[in-house]
Amino acid sequence: MKPAFSLFCLYLRHTFWKVLLLLLAAGAVEWGLFTARWRALPYTPTLAEAYTHSLLPLGWVLAGVFGVLCLLLATATLARGKGQPGYTLHRLPLSRGQVLLGQGLWNTLAFLLFWGSQALAFLGMGWSFGQGGGFLNPQTLPTAVWQVPLFHAFLPLGGPLQWAGNLALAGGLGFTAAAFTQALHRGKGTFAFPTLALCALVCLGSAPLSFLAAGGCLVWGLRQALRQEAPDRDDDNHRKEASPHAPAETP
């Protein structure tokens, strides 16, 4: 249990605060863009019109934040050298499968945090719209959610299948990112994670496409990772470097 806890702390220490800072900064930038865009209009728009008028810059910011998040998670434990996450990871007595499972779960939580933070950011924009003089009542926000596709993708009211599709995308992204990191540790490549990350930008608003992309890329990525599950000479060399006082193997 202690190695598994150490693995969790490793990801927490090297990625959690970066992810949190990224999401907070994204929310602040999105709020600023939304407020500036709707206040620049010569009339007071409805909430749906205010969202629609800000859709292009918000979409670019969201895509950029998503790309940076993917990069942070995929390269979280690559740095090596004493005190670096890659060095600590190789010292832990865990199999590749256990490392992949632990990182996959953490990555999934990070993508769910991204999803939730964006939903909260959109809700916060609606609240600030009302505080700034826009018309807002109990029906305004649900109506805007249905009228703006990007908003509805992150907050699919009345769409249980889309909630499930978003969860499938988060899990697929999380575990294919973990498989991608495993491949990078061994100097090998896999295109499952980059492919799914690109598909996610298209599939987010469609439950069937979300399931198809997440399922296909997840099977592809995990299959490649499991094919390389047997330890190789590189792993043995890394462990020997990480534990220089370990007794030599006898022939």
User: Looking at residue 140, what is its pLDDT?
Assistant: 83
Domain span at 31 = 2-242
User: Looking at residue 188, what is its pLDDT?
Assistant: 66
How far apart CA 157 and CA 239 sit, in angstroms, is 50
**Averaged over 222-247, what is the pLDDT?**
50
Q: Does residue 46 have a pLDDT over 50?
A: yes
> Do the Cβ atoms of 146 and 152 come closer than 8 Å?
yes
**131-138 contact pairs (CB < 8 A, 24+):** 132/35, 132/39, 133/44, 134/38, 134/44, 134/45, 134/46, 134/47, 134/50, 135/44, 135/46, 135/47, 136/47
Q: Does residue 110 have a pLDDT over 80?
A: yes
Residue 200 belongs to a domain: yes
Residue 250 belongs to a domain: no
**Averaged over 183-204, what is the pLDDT?**
71
Residue 126 belongs to a domain: yes
Q: Does residue 135 have a pLDDT over 50?
A: yes
User: Looking at residue 4, what is its pLDDT?
Assistant: 65
Residue 167 belongs to a domain: yes
In sign, the C-alpha dihedral spanning 206, 27, 71, 14 is negative
User: Looking at residue 142, what is its pLDDT?
Assistant: 83
More confident residue, 229 or 88: 88
- DSSP class of residue 13 equals I
Residue 251 belongs to a domain: no
How far apart CA 39 and CA 37 sit, in angstroms, is 6
How far apart CA 68 and CA 56 sit, in angstroms, is 19
Q: Does residue 240 have a pLDDT over 50?
A: no
Residue 203 belongs to a domain: yes
User: Looking at residue 236, what is its pLDDT?
Assistant: 46
The count of domains in the chain is 1
Residue 117 — pLDDT band, cuts 50, 70, 90? very high
Give how far Cα 190 sits from Cα of 77, 200, 203, 216, Å. Answer: 17, 17, 21, 14
Neighbours of 191 (CB within 10 A): 14
Residue 44 belongs to a domain: yes
More confident residue, 42 or 22: 22
Residue 220 belongs to a domain: yes
Residue 187, helix vs strand vs coil: coil
C-alpha closest to that of 73 among 105, 98, 95: 105
Residue 79, helix vs strand vs coil: coil
6-15, 108-117, 161-170: lowest mean pLDDT where?
Answer: 6-15
